[in-house]
Amino acid sequence: SDTVILKENVVVGAFTSIGEKTVIDEGSHIGSNVTIGRHCKIGKSCMIYSGVTLYDHTEIGDHVIIHSGSIIGADGYGLVSDNNTHNKIPHIGSVSIGNNVWIGSNCSIDRGTLSNTVIGSGSKLDNLIHIAHNVIIGNNCLMAAQVGIAGSTIVGDNTVIGGQAGISGHLRIGSNVKIGGASGVTNDIPDNSQ
């Protein structure tokens, strides 16, 4: 769009689309075949690899890396059932990603229903991770491949989650928690637990 603002030293690859009123801060590199929606904000010195999709109103901090195939800001799996008919709930929130975050390839981070889905600064997500709507991930968390976190769960700071762990929705996972690979978490976990 002609209303896009590209700050100094921004690089945009071939066949990339950037929606209206999006701002990309200085030194960021956007790969080829990337789709960036309207009213997005991308911070300084970010690296967004080819084939990434950012839906409207996505906000990304500084020094963020997003690998190929990841989709940020798609609608969450929010439905209300009425007489065996499943109706979609509008998702008017977005996704907010802090500074120094790494998102691996083929991850999906859904937008919030009313408020934002949040990935805290310093957190690192491996490949093939799903973060559902309204999830809040604290700062400096680590997640190995194929972790799935259901909607409206809150994860505290410095938490480590092993590969293929599944976390149910509407839970509170404390800070400094370690969850083993292939775990199924169905209850809240207090701070400093393993």
Catalytic residues: 133
Residue pair 49/38 in contact (Cβ under 8 Å)? The answer is: no
Residue with tokens 């997005």: 40
Tokens of 80: 């209300």
The partner residues of 137 in beta bridges, in order of sequence, read 119, 155
Terminal alpha carbon distance of the chain: 49
Backbone torsions φ then ψ of 94, nearest 5 degrees: -145, -155
- CA 58-126-30 angle, to 5 degrees, is 45
Residue pair 73/55 in contact (Cβ under 8 Å)? The answer is: yes
The β-bridge relationship of strands 148-149 and 166-167 is parallel
DSSP H or E stretch at residue 74: strand 71-74
Instruction: Compute the distance between CA of residue 134 and CA of residue 93 in angstroms, rounded to an integer.
Output: 8
Q: How many other CB atoms are there within 10 angstroms of residue 140's CB atom?
A: 19
